[in-house]
Structure 1
Amino acid sequence: MPFIEPAAPRRRRPGAVLALLAFAQLIISIDYNIVYVALPEIGSGLDFSAQSLQWVISAYAVAFGGFLLLGGRACDLFGPRRMFTVGLVLYAVSSLLGGLAESAAVLVAARALQGVGGAFLFPATLTLVSTGFAEGRERNRAFAVWGTAGGSGMILGSLLGGVLTDAFGWESVFFVNVPLAAVAALLAVPLIAPDAPRGGGRSMDVAGALTSTAGVTAVVFALVQGPESGWLSPVVLAAALAGAVLLAVFVAVERRSADPLLPLRLFADRDLSVGTAVTFAYMGTFGTLLYFLTVYFQGVHGYDPLATGLAFLVPMAAIAAGSQTAGRLATRYGIRPVLAVSLAVGGAGAAIVGATMATDASYAALIPGLLVLGVGQGAGYTLMFGAASLGVSAEDQGIASGVVSTGQQVGGAVGLALLVAVANAGLDGRGGEALRAATNDGLRTAMLIAAAGIAATALAALGLRRHGAGQAAEAEAPSGARPAVQV
């Protein structure tokens, strides 16, 4: 049953709560990338095969994407603070299991459990930001802080992964999450207001939960396994077909359900529909660039894990600057134009980086493009989730967050699969310097295609409704007019 608005919600320390929510988002973002630079040591330490090593990454992505709708609706039915805590506990337990793993199977299972934890934690965090801060200046500021943590955390994960792996071994990239998640879970109790008493006659849509989770999981599995096994391989085709059938059944179930997991009426909301499409495209373009830059630094220029992490400090600073600037500009000019311009700036940055990629290019030559790219990337990340949540009622914020987050995960899988295929197209049969040159050419082509995709995403963002600068005034509404979940 959903949480209901209390008669006189108690206002808690908003600064401390926002810091906690940003910290939780930082944990999610760090964990998304921290294992990348540790993969070679993980593979040799646990005897992964070349084919199975990808599942250290893929198990997390498949579980995360598959359980997001369930995690989002659980926020609406049981309350976001409960799901916030559940997600963090799952993160802590699974990270401990991962660090202690002595076999490949145990580590892959731990990564899948981390993905489930993320699928509960991410919608809960997004819901608490969307409903806990008044629409307008206050919420824009909150999303700026939250977005800074998310955007910077993905790069910080690469840096932290390099430092920890070099100093303490691959196990440390899992153990580091245990105290972080445990502390965040403990702080949730005093800082976040309790979920309101559950009321109404609503219950979990079991049929919808099963079909959506299985369907999305199968689709994400097909997307992440396709580049490895081949798009026409039996396992990939079977997964894709099963996913399509299950999602069709899910839609049929939702049309007939009196209390659906995903009310289809939500897709009539233009901001949610366009915002989900923008998020999908953002992750299919921006979301892949960290991978390609990592390959460029290590495969073309021979950086070690620590040097690779340090190379990301420049874009991390630019992402933080873009995130903070975006919130202020959105309050003044409205989310739609600022989001579109941010994406256009990021697309220009990606084009500049792609144009300067070369086997003999210095790191300094990349800095101008990385700065422009980072500013646009950080600003876009901050605004796209807030844009999608505008106008969604408090009782549906959890599932709306789940929808947008699912678009994020599937978009990232689709974009990475397609662009990796482009980047690797000319590598067969090459070695030595020829391989290095071909790798650079493939990465540059992928980067330029991503830049074109980002430009198209900027145009798509113009489909959002106008919400103008008048939102700033709404931030000054009296406390009685604030959303149901007070923080």
Structure 2
Amino acid sequence: MTASPGLDSQPASGGGASGNRWLVLVIVCLAYFVVALDATVVNVALPSIERELGMTPAALQWVVNAYALVFGGFLLLGGRLADLVGRKTVFIAGVVLFTVASALSGLATSAEVLTIGRGLQGLGGALIAPSALSILTTAFNDPSERTKALGVWSAIGAGGSAFGLLIGGLLTGLLSWHWIFFINVPFGVTALVLAMRAVSNSREELPHRSFDLAGALTVTGGLVLLVWTLSNAQAWGWTSPVVLGLLGLGVALLVAFAVIESRSKFPLMRLSVLRIRTLAVANATLIFLTSGIFTMFFFSALYLQGILGYGPIKGGLAFLPAAMGVMVGATVADALTRKIGHVVTGAGGLGLATVGMLLLSRITAQSTYAADLLPGLLCLSIGLGIAFVPITFLATSGVPEADSGLASGIYQTVQQIGGAIGLAVLAVLAANRTEEALGGPSPLPLPDAQVAGFNVAFVGGAVLLAVGAVVFAALLRKRHVAPLVAEAEAARAVDGKPADGKATDGEATDGEPAVRETRAGESA
């Protein structure tokens, strides 16, 4: 990546002195862990929240949806703001907002205050996630170090969701649901203090600071409408006028956004970035990967609590092996990408995750956790951890440093939208199968009918993961990835470190011409 000077005369690497980059990694991962944690931490606490605040089921769902809705809708805007305003500035603003919103949620004594607090948490997370990833990718130029850093990032992101269920169960069972929010405050304060001292404020160097208001309004409105509608489509009915109308409006706003960006002199999102082959394929694959993660957590949690009768603490502890599996997979991916390349590693990880999902599809109402659920969870989580690392690398590399926040925003947005779409579709298939099992000529008992629905969802998740593996392997070759490694090696040499000339995907680096070709867009 071409370095551009930071705002405070520090290197634009985002990490200040090179020796601080590992501290920068700790800081951004600490903040991102809390953001990932809060996507799932409330799940096992919902019954306690419902009882204490007297919430209706319709109001209760907004404890989850308010966070996902605002988080998914504002990610792209947060990523671009990081490029224009300053990555450190946006990161700190997000940490402050998220920490204050967490305290507000913990102190909530009404459904309205809790819902507002969760929405503000989502907005803070939408500022933290893309700016943090942008800081990380600009701090690590060396390809080997960047792969290791992205391995940690991937493990934190995927593992944070699993730990959210664990920590949510423990805090709710041992203290109260309020502490699932209060626990964020010391983490936020720590990340804030460290970031103020160790992170440099790099941003895109432009002769202008024009802000694309029309683009920001249309893309944010379109994404918010899509996430909101998909979150409620099953309850409202997929073919209802409300769902079809809102989906149509959301798509129309996104089309309007594309038209505005193609004509804008200073667009919020340069559409040319989507012509970079590695970025486009990685993000397309990410849609299928996140569908698998959402499916695993959602239906496994329903099975543990609804079928096996696990309480909050036991249910949370049951996901600890899955969290560890993701971390193991991400650690293994570092060595695999150097040995067999990013493409084979990513496709292989998705293949392993597919096997894990198929194992989960074999559970019954009479199954046990250790013998039947755990093997699938381990296989699936390790595979997802392996796949996350090369996909994250390709989705955030090959772009000028000025667009690193934008690439990070796209990556995070695709995660949310892909997961929401996949889960919404699979939830409908599961519900339909359960209804058939209950009302057929030989109706099944309720637990068996519910598990029959879960099985369909897991099979659907396996299909999505398998499609992701095929897309990744079919549309990418070693020659597409090699220029990204060459670019990183060139940047490393500029920073005063000798480039080792090793391309992790089996191709010799071709030098600067290959770098320019990648930036122009690696087309099919």
Q: TM-score, normalised by structure 1?
A: 0.93
CA deviation after TM superposition for structure 1 residue 470, in Å: 9.3
Deviation digits for residues 286-327 of structure 1 (CA, Å, limit 9, x no counterpart): 232111110111111111111111111222221111011102
Deviation at 1:465, TM superposition (A): 4.6
Residues of 2 paired with 1:430 and 1:441: CA distance? 10
Residue of structure 2 in register with 1:155 after alignment: 162
Instruction: Measure how far apart 1:433 and its partner are.
Output: 8.0
Contact 1:343–1:380 (Cα < 8 Å) also in 2:
yes
Evaluate the alpha carbon distance shift between residue 399 and residue 476 of structure 1 in structure 2; reply closer, same or farther with a 3 A threshold.
closer
Which residue in 2 is equivalent to 1:15? Answer: 22
**Of 403, 408, 412, which aligns to 1:405?**
412
2:202 aligned with 1:195: yes
Q: Pairwise CA RMSD of aligned residues?
A: 2.3
Q: 1:12, CA displacement in angstroms?
A: 4.1
- Cα distance in 2 for residues equivalent to 1:398 and 1:305: 37
Secondary structure of the 1:328 match is: helix
Cα deviation 1:178-221 (Å, max 9, x = unaligned): 22112111210112123369542242111111111111111111
2:427 and 2:299 map into 1 onto residues whose CA distance is: 8
**1:363 alignment partner, one of 345, 366, 369:** 369
Number of the residue aligned with 1:474: 489
Q: Which one-letter code corresponds to 1:188 in the other structure? A: A
User: What is the alpha-carbon distance in structure 2 between the residues aligned to residue 372 and residue 82 of structure 1?
Assistant: 40
How has the CA–CA distance of structure 1 residues 86 and 181 changed in structure 2, closer, same or farther, with 3 Å as cutoff?
Answer: same
Inter-partner Cα distance in structure 1 for 2:317 and 2:96: 31
Determine if the alignment matches structure 1 residue 453 to structure 2 residue 464: yes
Aligned mate of 2:232, from 193, 208, 225: 225
Cα distance in structure 2, aligned partners of 1:469 and 1:298: 48
1:96 CA displacement = 1.1
1:481 Cα deviation after fit: 7.0
More moved, 470-479 vs 132-141: 470-479
Unaligned ranges ≥5, structure 2: 12-16, 498-524
- Aligned ranges for residues 104-253 of structure 1 at < 5 Å? 104-195=111-202, 199-253=206-260
Shift of 1:140: 0.2
Q: Distance in 1 between the 2:305 and 2:444 partners?
A: 14
Q: Residues of 1 paired with 2:466 and 2:452: CA distance? A: 21
In the TM superposition, what is the alpha-carbon distance from 1:394 to its structure 2 partner? 0.4
Give the counterpart of 1:85 among 92, 107, 130. 92
Counterpart residue number, 1:76: 83
Match of 1:45 in 2: 52
**Contact 2:204–2:402 (CA under 8 A) maintained in structure 1:** no
Match of 1:292 in 2: 299
Residue 476 of structure 2 aligns to which amino acid in structure 1? L
Percent of aligned pairs with the same residue? 37
Gaps of 5+ in 1: 483-487
The 1-side partners of 2:444 and 2:378 are apart by 29
Q: How many residues align?
A: 479
CA distance in 2: counterparts of 1:369 and 1:256, whole angstroms = 49
Quick check: 1:64–1:116 contact (8 Å CA) kept in 2? Answer: yes
What one-letter code is carried by the residue in structure 2 that aligns with 1:291?
A: F
**C-alpha deviation, 1:253, in angstroms:** 0.9
User: Partners of 1:290 and 1:219 in 2: how far apart?
Assistant: 22
The answer to whether the aligner puts 1:440 opposite 2:440 as a matched pair is no
1:157-183 deviation per Cα after TM superposition (whole angstroms, max 9, x unaligned): 101000111122111111111221121
Counterpart secondary structure, 2:57: coil
Change (3 A) 1:104 1:57: same
Q: CA deviation at 1:376?
A: 0.2
**Higher relative contact order (Cα pairs below 8 Å, separated by 6+ residues):** 1
Deviation at 1:338, TM superposition (A): 0.7
Query: Which residue does the alignment assign to 1:31?
Result: 38
Match of 1:308 in 2: 315
Q: 2:112 & 2:248 partners in 1: Cα distance?
A: 26
Question: Conserved in 2, the CA contact under 8 Å of 1:300 and 1:436?
Answer: yes
Structure 2 residue identity aligned to 1:453: L
Q: Equivalents in 2 of 1:132, 1:322: separation in Å?
A: 23
Question: In structure 2, do the counterparts of structure 1 residues 442 and 231 end up closer, same or farther at CA, with 3 Å as the change threshold?
Answer: same
- For residue 278 of structure 1, what is the amino acid of its counterpart? T
SS at 1:129 equivalent: helix
